[in-house]
Structure formats: structure tokens, C-alpha cells
Amino acid sequence: MNFRFVVFVVFLFGVSSFNLFSQTIHTQWLDLNPLIYVDSLPKYISKTKSIAVVVAKNREDGQNLAHLFHPIFIKSGIDPVSYYHVDDLFANAFISKKLSEEFVKRDIKYMVVLSNQQRGYEIVITPFSKSESFINAGGKAWRMQNIDAKIIGKAIYALSYSFERQNLLVVDQPEFRPINSPIKGQRLEAFKPDLRSETLYIPLFEKHVPDSTIVYSNEALANITQHNNGVDQKNEELKSLFSEYPFPYSFIEGDLIPKELMKNNIRYVLDVVHTTNHDIRSVLNYKEKITGVTEYVTVSMDRGQGKIKRISANAPTYKYYIKHLPSNSYYLGTKWDADLSWQEALQNHIGLLVAEISR
């Protein structure tokens, strides 16, 4: 019997929650969290530590962007102690929380965001929020755009020239840190047969709700509307992918707090990680038998038969798994099913899950 109703779960508690589809913000991170731009760089930018975030179409472009701007930072006394691809900040709600905690411990003060868009290169510098959003919507920031990175570099150097400098040991090359925050809990591969009768809860992609305390520009409101329209489309795709799932399931939305979910008898919840193939395996505690692996074999089901696809270890992929909240366990499946799009990865996961527990 299929359960295709939608359950709306909204909890307003001051405790840790997990937004399972937080990765929907990615390249829209700044668009959905508009900042107030000022003319001057932060006064203490050359005395404190920063994190650099690259927003690019792919990993190679992101690496190139970092190497282009890092010499500018060295010359200006700005110290980005680590670089991250924006996807990695939001690879999973658990990872966002761990990274935020790590940045606090490392005494990070600023987020430096680099991008290369149709209007040219852009750099945004704003305080680190000490939260999983990493920036404060409505907070002050410095921004510059230009088709020539050298012009941006000259502006940064001129604005920072008179600042007191303590960042005298900035590393020579940009350092991208791998996502190394293994999820806690009992790790299991085989799915439990209980899923034949127990409801699997699937979080819907979430719309962005504007902060009522912030005055948004027309451009910012248009960006939010565009994002939310995309969320509607993704949720339709999500529901379609589950339309042939033969076991009980339901959709949920809102802040997903494990203790509150369990009070509502919600035990099995779908979750996802989105970062490189290699880093996903690290996050999910896979023990690699061979070092230096350059690709992994993804398995999917096609008309009852398994088929394989080879995907680079460094390719950004999605990997779904199921959390059992009462035991703090997570079920991965006995086959590696990560894929390049969330739709393909979810289709792989559903197909292998159904094949395994139908036996």
C-alpha cells in the first residue's frame, strides 16, 4: 500500500535541527541572504583570519579562481586560512554545523566570497556569522565587481594599505581543505526489512522565507521568487521519483528536529550528502581498501538488472542514505549508488532499496 499524503512538520524550538535538503542554496547563497554593501574594507581584515569560498560552475574553475586571487590577498595582508567550494559548505546540515564550529574554534572573523559571473569577477567580504549560514543576511559587506581581476586587486591593496598588519605568514598557495567530518552514529549497509511496513519520510526541498527585519531590494526579492519557483519544480520531481515506490512513505517539511520527529512517530528519514565522490565516502565512514583511487563504480537498477557507471573520485556527486532516528543509525545500501545529479542519485537509491528489501 502506498502512502502519498504530505505531512507538514514545523517545529520552532531553540535546539539543533537538520535541514536535509539544505544544499538547494549553493550558488544562490548570497542572492538569498542579501547584504548591505559599504565602501570600505573591514578595518581588521589584515589582522584576523578569514575563510575563502569560491562560487564557480565546476571545481576546476573554482581552483583557478582561488589561484588568481590568492596573490592579491598575500599582497594586501588578507589571510584566507582555508578555501572551500560553496557546495562543500552546504554538503549536508551535519557538515555545515561541524564547519561552523570549526571556524569558531579557529577564530575566523571574515568570509571572503569569490565568483566569476557574466558581469565579471566579484569579491564579497563580510563577517563570519558563527552559524551554519556562515553570513548574516542584512549584515555589512564590501563588494567589488570588474571584468579585470587586476583592477579588483589594486583596489583591495589601496583600501588595505593603511591598515595595521599582523598577517605576515599567509601561505604561498590557496589551500582547499577536504570535508573530513564523519557522521556520528551506527553505520550499517544492508537496509532493514522493517522498511517494507514502516513509513519512510522524505524531506521536501525548502522555500526561502525572507527575514521580516530586513528591507529587501527588488532584485533580492526577484532572486528569492525565482529560487522558490525552482523549489516547487524540484518537489514535483521528488514526488514523481517516489510515485512507484511500493512501500509506505510520506513527505515532510520544516525544521527537522530528531527528538520532535520521534514524538510524532517519525523513525526513518531520508538524508543526502553532496560533495565530491571521495569526500562523501569519508563523511559516511567508508574504509578505503585501496589508496589513490581515481574513480568509483556507481550501481543502479534498470528493468530489474544492475548496471554500472564509473565516476571520478573528485566529481561532485549526491549520495542518499536513510537515518533511523531512535537508534542514531544510518543505512547506506550494500551498493555504491552516488551520482552526478540528485535525481539520478535518488533514483539509484530507490531502485537498489526496493530490490534489496523485496527479496
The per-residue pLDDT for range 279-320, each reduced to its tens digit, is: 999 999 998 888 889 999 999 988 778 899 999 999 999 999
pLDDT, tens digit, 9 for 90 and up, residues 318-346: 999 999 999 999 999 999 999 999 999 99
The identity of residue 269, as a single letter, is V
Residue 113 pLDDT greater than 80, yes or no: yes
Contact 317, 311 (CB under 8 A): yes
pLDDT, tens digit, 9 for 90 and up, residues 167-176: 767 788 999 9
Picking from 277, 278, 261, the residue whose alpha carbon sits closest to that of residue 325 is 261
pLDDT, tens digit, 9 for 90 and up, residues 235-286: 999 999 999 999 999 999 876 777 788 888 899 999 999 999 999 999 999 9
Computed over its alpha carbons, how large is the radius of gyration of the chain? Answer: 22
| Percent residues over pLDDT 70 in the chain | 91
Residue 153 pLDDT greater than 50, yes or no: yes
What pLDDT shows up at residue 306? 85
CA 155/CA 145 separation, integer angstroms = 11
Q: Which residue has the cell 526541498?
A: 205
| Percent residues over pLDDT 90 in the chain | 65
Give helix 342-357 / helix 218-241 axis angle, nearest 10°.
30
Picking from 21, 7, 48, the residue whose alpha carbon sits closest to that of residue 208 is 21
Query: Distance of CA 272 to CAs 146, 150, 232, 320, 323, Å?
Result: 36, 39, 19, 4, 10
How many alpha carbons fall within 13 Å on the CB side of residue 159? 22
3-class DSSP state of 245: coil
Q: Are strands 316-324 and 268-276 parallel, antiparallel or unpaired?
A: antiparallel
The whole-number average pLDDT for the span 16-39 is 65
Residue 132: φ, ψ to 5°: -70, -10
Contact 228, 208 (CB under 8 A): yes
pLDDT, tens digit, 9 for 90 and up, residues 33-90: 889 999 999 989 989 999 999 998 889 999 999 999 999 999 999 999 999 999 899 9
Q: Which residue has the cell 510515485?
A: 243
Provide the H-helix boundaries in 134-217: 149-160
What pLDDT shows up at residue 255? 66
Please give the domain boundaries of the chain with CATH numbers for all domains.
33-160 (3.40.50), 186-357 (no CATH)
What pLDDT shows up at residue 216? 83
Least confident interval from 74-83, 155-164, 208-217: 208-217
What pLDDT shows up at residue 346? 97
Residue 233 pLDDT greater than 90, yes or no: yes
At 354, which helix (H) or strand (E)? Answer: helix 342-357
Buried b (16+ CB within 10 A) or exposed e, 78-88: bbbbbbbbbbb
Which of 121 and 5 is assigned the larger pLDDT?
Answer: 121
